[in-house]
Structure 1
Amino acid sequence: MKKKLLIIGFVWPEPKSSAAGSRMLQLVEQFQNQGYEIMFASAAKMSKNTFDLSSLGIEMQTIYLNDSSFDAFITKFKPEVVLFDRFMTEEQYGWRVAKQCPESLRILDTEDFHGLRKARELALKENKDVSVLHLQNDITKREIASMYRCDLSLIISEAEIDILTTQFKIDKSLLYYLPFLLESIPIVSRIKEEINLLPTFKERQHFITIGNFLHAPNYDAVLYLKQTIWPLIRKELPKAELHVYGAYESQKVTQLNNNKEGFLVRGFADNVNNVMKNAKVCLASLRFGAGLKGKLIDAMQNGTPCAMSSIAAEGMFGELEPNGFIEDKPEAFAKKAVELYNDASLWKANQKSCIKILNQRFNKMDFESSFSFKITELISNLITHRQANFVGQLMMHQTLQSTKYMSKWIEEKNN
């Protein structure tokens, strides 16, 4: 009989719209390879971009917020493992899962460290460096409480592991590094062949940036490009264009379009590979954020060198050379972007880094066995594991009581 996994989604996966959607499908594949029967449940509304999980043999189930119907639903399904998509779903459903299925392994997929992203946003607004005070914001407190209540939290970036263990003293047994999980190019000699399949330096033109506009760091980055960086690039390259792609563009995004300035808002890209592989340079000017950046993965998969901020690059390259330049000052950022755009030999040298980074940093085969072993080990030793996490017991006993009874109150009010 197959083991069962319940994924509770904050949203329905949209791999064409966001890196988070692609990440979720990567996790689904991992658990399917471990032999799990999977059900995906969410209280969110579906959109035209929602991925059809049934095509992968996964049942899709609508659930409701603050509704005891979830109790009957999960009791009937009785999963061995429950995966919460971001801490907000754990806050809403974690106490119900713990009560109805106490023996289920509870895993939190953070997607990125939301508290870190918030800290950087607060510091940016104050025009200050990120401090301990910024890090200890309310989002951080909620998210770390959720990490303690779960048996394991999946962390996508080594930089975030470091912050969580050194700054917040979270025990490493509660955290698991699991980055983007991608197909590799197994034979090194094929690197040249793969690059030759892509448009050449001479065949490409213009700059590109991409990102879901519902994600605040992406809108800020585009605005920063428009107001500060692009005018510097355009001064040196008056005929160049910046093509801005992203799902869910609002009026405040579309009004940034300016043909005379070569700042072109293109909106949703149905096929990111088609637009990325024809661009010469990708710009990732993020000023706040966390996690790993899907736009840089898209660029590397299509052999497109990047000019990026240190926040965009965080956690991506390890000890390897990046596929471009990392600069935070707008003048230096623009200068390097122009150099990449003009210098064919420099461009080609940075392009060669792309496949090496993908193979050595994000090869899913390097993570599959150890992740499977970790899940099996935790299920086999769950009681001992939880006994060692006494702070988690405290959080489950105390912190969630308010969430639990607030939820019950809302349910009664709605009735």
Structure 2
Amino acid sequence: MPSFAEARAGLQGEIDNVSPYRVRGWARNPQLPDEPVVLLIANNGEVLERVVADRARDDLLQAGFSSSHHGFDVWLPARLDASRRNIVRVFREIDGADLFRSPVILEASEAFGPVLQARLTTLLATPMEAPELRERIEFLVDLVEGLRRRLADEHAIGRGREAEEEPLRALVIDDQLPDSRRDAGSMAILSHIRSLRRLGYEISFVPSDLDGVRSLTADALTAEGMTLHLRPHTNSVEEVLRREANTFDLVYIHRYTNAAKYGPLARSFQPTARLVFSVADLHHLRLQRQGEYYGSERIAADSQLIRLRELSAAWSASSVITHSTHEAELLKADLGRTPIAVVPWSVTPRPVVRPFDRRRGVAFVGSFMHAPNLDAARRLVHAIMPRVWSTEPDIPCFLIGSDMPDELAGLNLDGIEVLGHVPDLFFALNRVRLSVAPLAWGAGIKGKVLESFAHGVPCAMTGIAAEGICLPAALDVCLGDSDEALALAIVTLHQDEALNRRCAEAGLALIEDGWSELRVDAAMRRAIIGSEPNLKLPGSNGIEQLSR
């Protein structure tokens, strides 16, 4: 139970523990309880570290505080010399007020410091015969291997015995705070964050775009128990990595742009953490296909540059996460021994309830900030639907999605209804018989396809839209790459109730089996600690964990 002793200048808190490696405790200003306290840690008069006391601690809530984010846990940049006396102070930066129990005195001991190391060096340097020399070498090799195994075990499951008392810590880095209402990328990273929490990790999140934070999104994430590093207390990702050096067990970086910028810094400031690079989708593959589609040599050249940057970020990671089995195969060929994990995101089945005969039409769903979606919507409106209407003129088409451009929002075409952003996709899909994803280029798993399946609505789609999902044979009828083939698939699925039902059931089964929280947790566990190697994702061809 935390102490309630007040220090001067209104500083509340105490030091829990000091070791030659680490300092832990909590600090709070009762006059400004929502502002974290900034502390300095000094040893024998020399400042070693600066820390912001903003970690969550359940014991503070149990003690009656309105907020739990007042803890700190610092791994010192260098081990204290245990062969001499150490006087460790923890005090507030603005006025020098000490925490309760500060200073802590660590008396000199016979620990593994310079004195003991010198004795050991002298002993091993003593002249000896070859048999005795071999005996000492074998002893030291066994000792070193045992220490290495112990270190690996501690960083795989936490920090030794303390892992039983404290959660593991993960730092997640992405462009923006995730918002499941915005895009599939947000749904994916939120699912992975929740999986990490179920696996025992305490989550800290820092966006690279600190100026684009929306307060409602921040409030929702904080309510889930995440620690957010935002302005005015945080000015950059680099600041978090440096300020909390050696405190994270896992650094999860989303998208190659962030991995390229912050991967080396994470290696420097969090050297014992497992560095996971989640590619979202292969950006260079999307650009390559875009260049081929438009016949642009410039875009094709850009794709090769991006490819080098993506692979460089992947080579430096402990493991790479992708959602797509297709992209896992490509990464395997390029990365060799770097571990690759196929980790889906959880999708909740919400089958529509309106009977087939009371539904009508086809829906296109997508964020129109994403260029492949905008191109696909144009193709649908101007090339595919006219072919559909040539045989079935009464099939309406609904355009659904955020950031709708004026050219689509202002469409005045018979048969096209622009819905724009909808707060709940269920109500939109509950009125149609199928969705359509006529993507001609792109990369990664398409969230619009998964959401359609999860709602029990078949999706007429191109091979690009279906790529990496590993569709069952029952859904082959939904595939088509040409305008004519997609128009035929739309008409067939709209007319044939029995076929529509079979496809809906196959899509729902795919989601329930391959995109559940159970599957996400199993795949995530393999990605970060390598356990449960025999549990495979459907259609993954064994790629979900390609270990070293």
Runs of 5+ in structure 2 lacking a partner? 1-165, 532-546
Matched, 1:73 2:247: no
Residue 479 of structure 2 corresponds to which residue in structure 1?
Answer: 326
Which sits farther off after the overlay, 242-251 or 19-28?
Answer: 242-251
Distance 1:225 1:127, change over 3 A: farther
Q: Could you tell me whether the CA contact under 8 Å between 1:6 and 1:79 is conserved in 2? A: yes
CA shift, 1:181, in A, is: 2.7
Q: Tell me the residue number matched to 2:360.
A: 205
Give me the TM-score of the superposition, normalised by structure 1: 0.80
1:111 counterpart SS class? coil
> Aligned AA for 2:397?
L
Secondary structure of the structure 2 residue equivalent to 1:346: helix
Q: Which amino acid aligns with 1:181?
A: S
Higher strand fraction (1 or 2)? 2
Structure 1 residue 276: deviation in Å?
A: 1.4
Which runs of structure 2 are paired with 1:241-320 in the superposition (5 Å)? 241-255=396-410, 257-258=411-412, 260-320=413-473
Partner of 2:390 in structure 1?
A: 235
Contact kept? 1:17, 1:49, Cα under 8 Å: no
User: Greater shift after overlay, 102-111 or 172-181?
Assistant: 172-181
What residue is the counterpart of 1:344 in the other structure? 497
Task: Give CA-to-partner distance per residue, 1:307-354, whole Å, 9 cap, x none.
Answer: 100100111234443285100010111012111111222212222212
Q: Taking structure 1 as reference, are residues 61 and 211 closer, same or farther at Cα in structure 2, changes over 3 Å only?
A: same
- The offset of 1:74, in angstroms, is 3.4
Query: Is the Cα contact below 8 Å between 1:317 and 1:357 reproduced in 2?
Result: no
SS of 1:150's partner is coil
Once the two structures are superposed, the pairs formed by residues 117-132 of structure 1 within 5 Å of their partners are 117-126=286-295
Segment drifting more, 314-323 vs 101-110:
314-323
* Post-superposition CA distance 1:108-165 (Å, at most 9, x none): 111111111111111101199xxxx779611211111111111111011111111222
Q: What does 1:15-414 align with in structure 2 at a 5 Å threshold? A: 15-44=180-209, 45-47=212-214, 50=217, 52-62=220-230, 69-75=239-245, 78-126=247-295, 137-166=304-333, 168=334, 170-171=335-336, 173-183=338-348, 198-255=353-410, 257-258=411-412, 260-322=413-475, 324-377=477-530
Instruction: Give the CA RMSD over aligned residues.
Output: 2.7
Q: Distance in 2 between matches of 1:333 and 1:134?
A: 31
* 1:35-75 per-position Cα deviation (integer Å, ceiling 9, x unaligned): 11101111321248736211211112227787853444332
CA distance in 1, matches of 2:200, 2:173: 19
**Structure 2 residue matching 1:78: 3-state secondary structure:** coil
Tell me how far apart the structure 2 counterparts of residues 294 and 335 of structure 1 sit (CA, whole Å).
23
Q: Distance in 1 between matches of 2:472 and 2:340?
A: 22
Deviates more, 1:230-239 or 1:265-274: 230-239
Report the Cα distance in structure 2 between the residues aligned to 1:3 and 1:34, rounded to whole angstroms. Answer: 9
Give, in angstroms, the shift of residue 269 of structure 1.
1.3
Report the CA distance shift for 1:328/1:65 in structure 2 as closer, same or farther (over 3 A).
farther
Identify the structure with bigger relative contact order (alpha carbons < 8 Å, sequence gap 6+). 1
Letter in 2 for 1:224: R
Equivalent residue of 1:227, what SS?
helix
Q: Distance in 2 between matches of 1:377 and 1:164?
A: 18
Q: Partners in 2 of 1:350 and 1:362 — Cα distance?
A: 17
**Superposition deviation, residue 264 in structure 1:** 2.1
SS in 1 for 2:244: helix
Report deviation, 1:104: 1.4
Change in Cα spacing, 1:65 to 1:328, as seen in structure 2 (3 Å) is farther
Which AA in structure 2 matches 1:15?
S
How many angstroms apart in 2 are the aligned matches of 1:362 and 1:296?
A: 12
CA deviation map 1:67-88 (0-9, x unaligned): 853444332x821111111111
Residue pair 1:109, 1:154 contacting (<8 A) in 2 also? yes
- Percent pairwise identity: 21
Q: Equivalent residue of 1:333, what SS?
A: helix
1:14 matches 2:179: yes
Q: Distance in 2 between matches of 1:248 and 1:212?
A: 7
Q: Give the letter aligned to residue 227 of structure 1.
A: H
Structure 1: distance between partners of 2:425 and 2:476: 18
Evaluate the alpha carbon distance shift between residue 299 and residue 181 of structure 1 in structure 2; reply closer, same or farther with a 3 A threshold. same
Whole-angstrom distance in 1 between the partners of 2:257 and 2:290: 19
Contact 2:206–2:237 under 8 Å retained in 1: no
Cα distance in 2 for residues equivalent to 1:66 and 1:39: 14
Please, which runs of 5 or more residues in structure 1 have no aligned partner?
185-193, 379-387, 390-415
Whole-angstrom distance in 1 between the partners of 2:217 and 2:329 = 34
Which whole-Å deviations, capped at 9, do the CAs of 1:278-322 have from their partners, x for residues lacking one?
211101001111111111111111111111001001112344432
Of 34-43 and 77-86, more deviation after overlay is shown by 77-86
Q: Which residue type is aligned with residue 379 of structure 2?
A: Y
Give the TM-score normalised by the residue count of structure 2. Answer: 0.61
SS of aligned partner of 2:358: coil
